[in-house]
Amino acid sequence: MILFAIIAIVLFIVYVKWRHSYWTRLGIYQMQPEFFIGNARSVLTGKTSFAQTVYERYNSIKATGQQCGGIYLFLEPAVYFIDPKLIKTILQKDFQYFMSHGLYHHPKDILSMNLFNMEGDVWRNLRAKLTPTFTSGKMKMMFDTIIEKTNGLEAMVDKFASNQQPFAIKEALGRFTTDIIGSCAFGIECNSLEDPDNLFRAYGKKVFEPNLYRFWLFNLLPWWFLGNIGFKSNGRDVSEFFIKVVKETIKTRQENQIFRKDFMHLLLELKNMEINEKNPLTITDDEIAAQCFIFFLAGFETSSTNMTFALLELAQNPEIQEKLRDEINDVIERHGGKITYDAVMEMKYLDMVINETLRKFPPVTILPRICTKDYEIPGTKSTIKKGTRVHIPVWGLHRDPDYYPDPDVFDPERFNEENKLKRPDFTFLPFGEGPRMCIGLRFGMLQSRVGLISLIRNFSFSLNKKTSLPIRMSSGSVIISVKGEVWLDAKKIRDY
């Protein structure tokens, strides 16, 4: 019996070693794996942020001079592509090999069946249904709702400024974007700015709480098993809450013929279309629930995070803050003193500030893909096998001094037209690129623009000593976030 146990242990060790030599056997550089867990320790323990892990992997691979490198998540191989030309090929020209994100979804977990998670023809059909709801014309339709929510944000900051109290900008902006998305996605007034404990805010925050338990389950157990035992990727209480809200909203609007300028109305228009050969773009109640959910999460978290980092940098760079304020005032004056959609789109320096913020603090650290059929890496004899995880290291590209000299310096001029032309394509990927580029890009940018215009126009910001520097990224969070809070001091500079 002891002999059999020894043989089994030896065979297991040999098998693990063989699995962990996959990339070497393929002729691709690999980072040194730890026994069994591979290169996943930093993620599993939560001791290192995703951002730092991606940065270290990127630099390790780049130091070899190769265009890609391999890692292991337990025994599963994954590959990092770091060469911009190759990344462009993967995300655009050879997209058919890398159509999927490789993220958990199951029909019995309704909220998981959203556009971000879907694959293949199901994703393609859903994308075709939703694309018309994110045109610039549709954004104009929702513009007044976004502007309306700035009143509560200004009142909140005004209160702190009047009392000369520092305030936590990340929490304030999270409440602001929750109110916008609650109204634009669900047609519901959340009033998070007045009531920070409302259910929308509470459940939205809960989804983004670090959860290593879920990471283990997604990577160790088959998805069909998780779905069939009733597993809910966002938690049962979160799932039940959002599905109930969506279905009650659908019922109320249809019974009372309610019209609102929001995302829900656009989805209901799709739902009510007649199915025919020319226009098979109808959508089910479950699909509406899943899309409203992902729109809500992506909309409130990424935009609030982007504005938080922008204000963090503006508070430390008063000359940039003043230059931005001058542009905002000049453009608004040309538009009759009102913040209009056209005025917002005219603010070029504002876009440069936002893009530099996205460069330095991209919402996601990697773009995940799954190889959907065997792919020979251009210029090599190495073939990436179907089912292999592919990572595009956004955080590494954005902080590479070859593309962005002095990458820790906040410099919006990196994004003037002259400097943009100097950089290789696909070295700026805050929202992805190619057919799977973020569909809500326009809306997210519009939120960030309007929020910053409202604040910079009316207040001057400086960093409060309660903010810990240098800032650190929260570990275990998919969307990057500051560990702790960003505390600012505000001074009112304009009566409104």
CA angle, residues 411, 416, 420, in degrees to nearest 5: 100
Break the chain into its structural domains and give their ranges. 2-492
Q: Residue 278: exposed, middle, or buried by beta-carbon count in 10 A (0-12, 13-18, 19+)?
A: exposed
Please give the pLDDT value at position 280.
55
> How many other C-beta atoms are found inside a 10 Å radius of the C-beta of residue 431?
19
pLDDT at position 209 over 90: no
Binding residues for heme: 438
At position 74, the amino acid (one-letter code) is F
Q: 450 or 102: which carries more pLDDT confidence?
A: 450
Length of the chain (residues): 496
Per-residue pLDDT, 323: 98
pLDDT per position as a tens digit, 348-358: 999 999 999 99
Model confidence over 264-312: pLDDT tens digits?
888 888 877 754 445 555 688 888 899 888 888 777 788 999 999 999 9
**Which pLDDT value is given to residue 133?**
82
pLDDT band at 211 (very low <50, low <70, confident <90, very high): low
pLDDT (0 to 100) of residue 2 = 85
Q: What is the DSSP letter of 381?
A: S
pLDDT higher than threshold 70 for residue 496:
no
Task: Tell me how far apart the alpha carbons of residues 321 and 313 are, in angstroms, rounded to a whole number.
Answer: 9
* pLDDT tens sequence across 127-174: 888 888 888 888 888 899 899 999 999 999 999 999 999 999 998 998
Please, are residues 64 and 29 in contact by the beta-carbon 8 Å criterion?
yes
- Predicted pLDDT at 495: 65
Higher pLDDT among residues 18 and 253, named by residue:
18
Task: Round to the nearest angstrom and report the end-to-end CA distance of the chain.
Answer: 83
What integer is the mean pLDDT of 336-345? 95
Percent of the chain at pLDDT > 90 equals 55
Q: Which pLDDT belongs to residue 272?
A: 77
Q: Is the pTM of this model over 0.85?
A: yes
Could you tell me which residues are annotated as the binding site? Answer: 438
Rounded to whole angstroms, how far apart are CA atoms 133 and 135? 6
Q: In the sheet where 76-81 sits, what is the strand order?
A: 68-73, 76-81, 389-392, 367-370
Mean pLDDT of 37-52: 81
CA distance 42 to 35: 14
The CATH classification number of 2-492 equals 1.10.630.10
- Can you tell me the mean pLDDT for 330-349? 96
Give CA angle at 202 (196, 207), nearest 5°: 140
Which tokens hold the place of 435? 């057919």
Query: Could you tell me the two tokens for 259?
Result: 């019209």
Q: Determine what percent of the chain falls in helix, strand and coil, rounding each to the nearest 5.
A: 55, 10, 35
Q: 246 and 289 in contact (C-beta within 8 Å)? A: yes
